[in-house]
A and B are shown apart, each in its own frame.
Chain A
Amino acid sequence: MEKKILELTAKYLQVGQVKVSLDNNKVITEIEGKKILGFVCGTLLMVRLKNRRLDGHTALEKCLIQDWLTYCATDLFHCPTFETLNVCLQYINKELAHHSYLCGYTLNIADVVVFLALHPFISNWSFLQKEQYMNISRWFSAMQKDESLRETYAPVQFSRTLLY
């Protein structure tokens, strides 16, 4: 899962030659000669090379980004069943209740990573599920408007009126 998300993130950031490989369940990112071990470090390396804006402006934001990326690497990517995935989704839903984006009020790399991870699930949700995770739906709908994401991913429909 980490490998796939790293590759998708690389495509999003338009990083040139990136090689991602797995070694004993640890993911190694190789970019411009440098080899970095681990998902969080690999992502942050790519971001700092290509698009510093997505790395967060304040120290607090940078901390939160690292926190979310770690959460992805430890919990979100390793959900064995739908029940555990639902637990993660409820956590994310609660966190999004008071923020526009995961780390505050601006888009950053943590949002992109979580978007890429959840897209295949959310595109298959029924309207009932979208209404149950109201905050995730709102956040997802905002994320879809980003230009580079809009180009690569088919938009998911959300209903603006409450159906259930």
Chain B
Amino acid sequence: MTNENKENSEDGPSKKALKKAQKAAEKAAKKAEYKAQNAVQDDATQEGAEVDCSVGLYGNLTLNKSQEKLPVTHKELKDLDESLANQNVTIRARLHTSRGKGRQAFFVLRSCEHTVQCVIAVGEMVSKQMIKFVCNIAKESIIDVEGKVVVTGQKIESCSIQDIEIYATKVFVVSASAQRLPLQIDDAMRPEADDPEGLQIKVNQDTRLDNRVLDLRTPTNQAIFRLEAGVCHLFREALRMRGFTEIMCPKLISSASEGGANVFGMKYFEREAFLAQSPQLYKQMAIAADFGKVFTIGPVFRAENSNTHRHLTEFVGLDLEMAFTHHYHEAVNVIGNMFTEIFRGLRDNYADEIATVNHQFPAEPFKFLDPPLCLEFKEGVALLKEAGIEMEETEDLSTPNEKLLGRLVKAKYDTDFYILDKYPLAVRPFYTMPDPNNPKWSNSYDMFMRGEEILSGAQRIHDATLLVERAKAHEIPIDTIQSYIDSFKYGCPPHAGGGIGLERVTMLYLGLDNIRKTSMFPRDPKRLTP
């Protein structure tokens, strides 16, 4: 057998090779025929292209450089409802998703928290080329859609606007997006335990923060930050109505205000300067300058190397300070009532936003009492002792004890917000006024939401001599705080106040687990961009 083969290869192509060549030739012939046929079909479609009935009704708009002044007739997505049935509307929104099959396409438009379904089908005014164009628009592009509002028989479960859909007649791309997105908005807005059988893809927090511009577009994030703005607004209103004046404090300061440990330093021309850790000093100077009741909203910089779920290096501080007549509880009541107003305002006016956030991050609704619950530090320690925690009466509360105390108070009084008054003097800063009857205690208070501390405040020492004495007891060199002490030399009313972190309050009100969810562009020891 082998001999024969050898002979064949010497003589020329063997039988097998011949057969192979024949088959290859047949294949090539078939391919050419197929190509010819396709060419004919392509010609046919080319002919079709010439007969596109939707020319001018779709396409990419030229870059908007404010070429023309036209009246604005666009409608907002949130204003679409059954009352506009059978009318023509124009809307500008983002393309959320699209899917098309030849003669029909469905696409979902998204704007802020709202989504609506649009349908486009081949007809008199709509051509196949238009359908193809719509299906090829990249996700997240901003598009202008004009169409008729139609009431649907069945509710559209997958959109937020469920009773109507739009039968589109014109589609223009205002601003196209790149085809490849670093994260999918659908994945970023998927609730945690949606459907155990379904997709479980979630987006990592680091990915979200690296592509914050995309991540902030999810309905949940839109709701969180609108609610945060609401907290700020309610804070301002509650205090303005009680006669407070808003002041602006400098953030570039010459000496660290509250102990030199956690402060950012930098070069300031030929000297050294620091970023303010808190507006404490300036609030008090404003009181000494006869402003009576002041509040300030601004950034606070803390150089703490803490990588926890509730610390940021830069956050927004809402601080207030007020002069009182007889007892510092006048200030505590003002702060407590301000919180009650904030919680009530959020519950009543931002219910939609809270529901949107709870859809993706379920949490118990926030409970509070009116007037707010105020316990003494001693009572808190007694509650913990009943539950088996051994601690000294004048020992500071550790974080686990704070959390357990929050649970015990919730079980006993059914409130997520409470005030703990009369802290031990040893654990408070040097400018805290000691208790008049017992030097072990101080006129200071902390306020807690869901077991975590949100405000630390006290009656401040308004007398220069006592201040020097307390500073010496805390072993703080007097020359570093000389200018602070000087502010009280020319008469100052007794005053008290406190400061809260905007992000922390929002996070605890919504029951979220990480403060980076409530800071638009968070800063922590590991993150400096975006």
Binding site for B on A (CB under 8 A): 127, 157, 159, 161-164
Contact = CB atoms under 8 A, between A and B. Distances in A.
Contacts of B408: 163
B387 interface: yes
B282 to A, nearest CB: 42
A127 B404 contact: yes
Contacts of B404: 127, 163
A127 B412 contact: no
A161 B412 contact: yes
A157 B385 CA distance: 11
A58 to B, nearest CB: 38
B387 A127 contact: yes
Interface string B407-433: 110111000000000000000000000
B407 A164 contact: yes
Nearest to A161: B411
Contacts of B388: 157
A67 B407 CA distance: 39
Contacts of A161: 411-412
Given A161-B411, A161-B412, A163-B411, 13 more contacts: A127-B387, A127-B404, A127-B407, A157-B387, A157-B388, A159-B387, A159-B411, A162-B411, A163-B404, A163-B407, A163-B408, A163-B410, A164-B407
Contacts of B387: 127, 157, 159
Contacts of A157: 387-388
A164 B411 CA distance: 9
> Interface SS of chain B: helix, strand, loop or mixed?
helix
Nearest to B388: A157
Contacts of A164: 407
Interface of B: 387-388, 404, 407-408, 410-412
Nearest to B412: A161
A127 B383 CA distance: 14
A114 B388 CA distance: 24
A14 to B, nearest CB: 30
A163 B411 CA distance: 6
A161 B404 CA distance: 13
Contacts of B411: 159, 161-163
What 10 pairs between A and B have smallest CB-CB spacing?
A157-B388, A163-B407, A161-B411, A163-B411, A159-B387, A157-B387, A162-B411, A127-B404, A164-B407, A163-B408
A157 B408 CA distance: 14
A163 B412 CA distance: 9
A127 B384 CA distance: 12
A127 B389 CA distance: 11
A154 to B, nearest CB: 11
A40 B410 CA distance: 46
16 contacts: A127-B387, A127-B404, A127-B407, A157-B387, A157-B388, A159-B387, A159-B411, A161-B411, A161-B412, A162-B411, A163-B404, A163-B407, A163-B408, A163-B410, A163-B411, A164-B407
B364 to A, nearest CB: 11
Of A157, A161, A163, which is in contact with the most chain B CB atoms at under 10 Å from its CB? A163
A62 B102 CA distance: 76
A146 B448 CA distance: 40
Nearest to A163: B407
Contacts of B410: 163
Contacts of A162: 411
Nearest to B411: A161
Nearest to A156: B388
Contacts of A127: 387, 404, 407
A49 B258 CA distance: 72
Nearest to A157: B388
Contacts of A159: 387, 411
Nearest to A159: B387
A59 B387 CA distance: 42
Contacts of B407: 127, 163-164
A132 to B, nearest CB: 14
A157 B387 CA distance: 7
A159 B405 CA distance: 13
Nearest to A155: B388
A2 to B, nearest CB: 31
B241 to A, nearest CB: 37
Contacts of B412: 161
A164 B388 CA distance: 17
A75 B93 CA distance: 62
B407 to A, nearest CB: 4
Of B404, B407, B410, which is in contact with the most chain A CB atoms at under 10 Å from its CB? B407
Nearest to B410: A163
A157 B410 CA distance: 19
A129 to B, nearest CB: 13
B62 to A, nearest CB: 60
Contacts of A163: 404, 407-408, 410-411
Nearest to B404: A127
Nearest to B406: A163
Nearest to A131: B407
A161 B414 CA distance: 12
A164 B408 CA distance: 10
A159 B387 CA distance: 7
A43 B65 CA distance: 91
B398 to A, nearest CB: 14
A112 B388 CA distance: 24
Nearest to B389: A157
A5 to B, nearest CB: 26
A77 B412 CA distance: 39
A157 B390 CA distance: 12
B85 to A, nearest CB: 49
A159 B404 CA distance: 12
B402 to A, nearest CB: 14
A48 B411 CA distance: 46
A137 to B, nearest CB: 13
A162 B414 CA distance: 12
A55 to B, nearest CB: 35
A127 B451 CA distance: 15
B270 to A, nearest CB: 55
A91 to B, nearest CB: 24
A3 B382 CA distance: 41
B184 to A, nearest CB: 35
A10 B404 CA distance: 39
A61 B159 CA distance: 60
